[in-house]
Chains A and B, each alone.
Chain A
């Protein structure tokens, strides 16, 4: 158990070491905040599932240097993003921008969800409705009529019997 704990510690320590960050100096805390935000949001194109902040690739290092330089030169977060998109395309952004080209990307989950709701609703309604009784066949109708007739007749007979008994007494 203890060994496991030590191994876990070691592994996490290693991953902490792996985070490649140069010791950049900034003019203000605000600049440093933007720097970290941007390097988390921008994709390293060589190692595509890493942000610029995480990557050890040469290009990521160069881009971090570039962002740092631009921040010191007074560029805003938006200007730096635009700079990157102008050169590497929207792909460099982890969050794709909202524009006609990407509407499908943004709306597809909502559309799929809506379709799911429609199907689910239909399914549930189908489960709830008891099947409508089928129309009775003419034979069955006839049988009902016969039975009704029989009941009537027996009633009639009973009445007649009662009347007879009364008159006799």
Chain B
């Protein structure tokens, strides 16, 4: 009887400590999350319809042209510093056989052309969204962002930030593997 009483008072004494501990864990987990990473509601949905002019040739490119092949749509701009950093990795992805379409976001045509001239143009095509209207349909809120689109034209994965970032790169690779696996 007295032992139970004692246990209870022990519990009561340590309760604030336990609650404090739980709060610390909760807040610590919260701190490790990046509020800038907003999950895209577009994942699992078909790409938005668009028809945009090309940067360095005549003609237009539309959502229909994305179908048929796994494609990475890479949103970039010449004013975007991180795009410069990820350029090398984007180039490597293309070399490894991935189809990459450039999405030039709110940029000036001469600036974009000069950027590609300087760093090299890894893209199959570059579509131009100078006023950012099409980007709104894609839920783009910054650059760089990249969308992995499968053969059916469904968005499978979104990279927010540089694909050269190790975590982003690993996630993208896993997503590509998964999409390839689904279609074997």
Contact = CB atoms under 8 A, between A and B. Distances in A.
A75 B41 CA distance: 22
A166 to B, nearest CB: 59
A45 B35 CA distance: 10
Nearest to A60: B141
A89 B35 contact: no
B142 A87 contact: no
A66 B136 contact: yes
Contacts of B123: none
A87 B138 contact: yes
B41 A88 contact: yes
A46 interface: yes
Contacts of A91: 38-39
B41 A85 contact: yes
B38 A46 contact: no
B152 interface: no
Nearest to B48: A87
A135 interface: no
A45 B41 contact: no
Contact of A87 (B36, B39, B132, B137): B137
A88 B141 contact: yes
Task: Summarize B's interface: helix, strand, loop or mixed.
Answer: loop
Interface in B103-162: 106, 131-133, 136-139, 141-142
Given A58-B132, A62-B132, A89 B41 contact: yes
B136 A62 contact: yes
B35 A87 contact: no
B106 to A, nearest CB: 6
B56 interface: no
A45 B141 contact: yes
Nearest to A43: B38
B133 A62 contact: yes
27 contacts: A45-B38, A45-B142, A46-B141, A46-B142, A48-B36, A58-B132, A59-B132, A59-B141, A59-B142, A62-B131, A63-B136, A66-B133, A66-B136, A85-B41, A86-B41, A87-B42, A87-B136, A87-B137, A87-B138, A87-B139, A88-B38, A88-B41, A88-B141, A89-B39, A89-B139, A90-B41, A91-B38
Given A88-B38, A89-B39, 16 more contacts: A45-B141, A45-B142, A46-B141, A46-B142, A48-B36, A58-B106, A59-B141, A85-B41, A87-B41, A87-B137, A87-B138, A88-B41, A89-B38, A89-B40, A90-B41, A91-B38
Interface of A: 45-46, 48, 58-59, 62-63, 66, 85-91
Interface of B: 35-36, 38-42, 106, 131-133, 136-139, 141-142
Nearest 6 pairs of A and B residues by beta carbon: A45-B141, A87-B139, A89-B41, A91-B38, A62-B132, A88-B139
